[in-house]
Amino acid sequence: MKKNVLLEQAHAILTSLVSPEDIMVDMTMGNGHDTLFLSSLAKEVYAFDIQEKALEKTKQKVGHLTHVHLICDSHENILDYVQSFKGVIFNLGYLPQGDKSITTKTETTLNTLHTLLPLLKKEGFIQLVVYPGHEEGRREDKAIQDWIKTLNPHLFHITESRFIHEEKNPPYMLMIYKTKDESD
Ligand SMILES: C[S@@+](CC[C@H](N)C(=O)[O-])C[C@H]1O[C@@H](n2cnc3c(N)ncnc32)[C@H](O)[C@@H]1O
């Protein structure tokens, strides 16, 4: 229930930011809920997952849509497939009802964030839903929090949405907006 509130917020933000001429990337396709949602907003959607199972599930939802490209590869290799986009979304962790050992990994996620940052254009954004409730998720959370502190506040606005009454490391959402170009 609480997670859904967060995902509803995440989708509401996407609705406000994504226009029909935009290219969007879903970095963690999973069961395809977010890919399907993005497909209703954007001109083109690229979606990544390392699990065939995720592609099978997502194909059931968007397989008929020619503007959606499902890619079975790590999001670290994004540049092999798409170099220009409005924004990207990450829903970190493991596939719901899937193998919990196949989760996003701290080093991979950070590598990908480093790759993405120079590609972000003015008004581009990165949306992350982070799950510190499991061991790897806690490492990932800490690494992401350390990384965002290194971003130039003149170029990026960063917001966080959290459940403030939850005690056990609830999920939260980060939005990283690029507000200016380096040349501005
Ligand atoms: C929480 S699930 C995503 C849920 C999805 N957004 C949805 O709407 O159903 C996280 C997914 O990230 C995938 N994943 C883990 N490491 C990845 C990587 N390096 N590149 C792409 N996907 C990865 C997992 O296989 C898993 O399916």
**Any atom of ligand 1 within 6 Å of the Cβ of 11:** no
From ligand 1's centre to the CA of 104, what distance in Å? 7
Residue 30 lies in a domain: yes
Angle at which helices 106-116 and 135-148 pack, to 10 degrees? 30
The pLDDT tens digits of the residues spanning 101-150 come to 999 999 999 999 999 999 999 999 999 999 999 999 999 999 999 999 99
Q: Across the strands, what pairs with 49?
A: 72
**The total number of structural domains that make up the chain:** 1
Which residue in 101, 67, 68, 106 sits closest to 90, CA to CA? 106
The pLDDT tens digits of the residues spanning 76-102 come to 999 999 999 999 999 999 987 888 899
Give the pLDDT band (50/70/90) at residue 58: very high
Segments forming the whole domain that contains residue 47: 2-178
Residue 183 lies in a domain: no
Residue 8 lies in a domain: yes
Position in ligand 1 atom list of the atom nearest CA 112: 19
pLDDT averaged over every residue in the chain: 95
pLDDT score at 23: 98
Residue 157 lies in a domain: yes
Count how many Cα atoms sit within 13 Å of the Cα of residue 100 in the half-sphere of its side chain.
Answer: 7
Residue 35 lies in a domain: yes
Residue 184 lies in a domain: no
Residue 146 lies in a domain: yes
Output the pTM of the full model. Answer: 0.97
**Any atom of ligand 1 within 6 Å of the Cβ of 91:** yes
Q: Where residue 102 sits, what CATH number does that domain have? A: 3.40.50.150
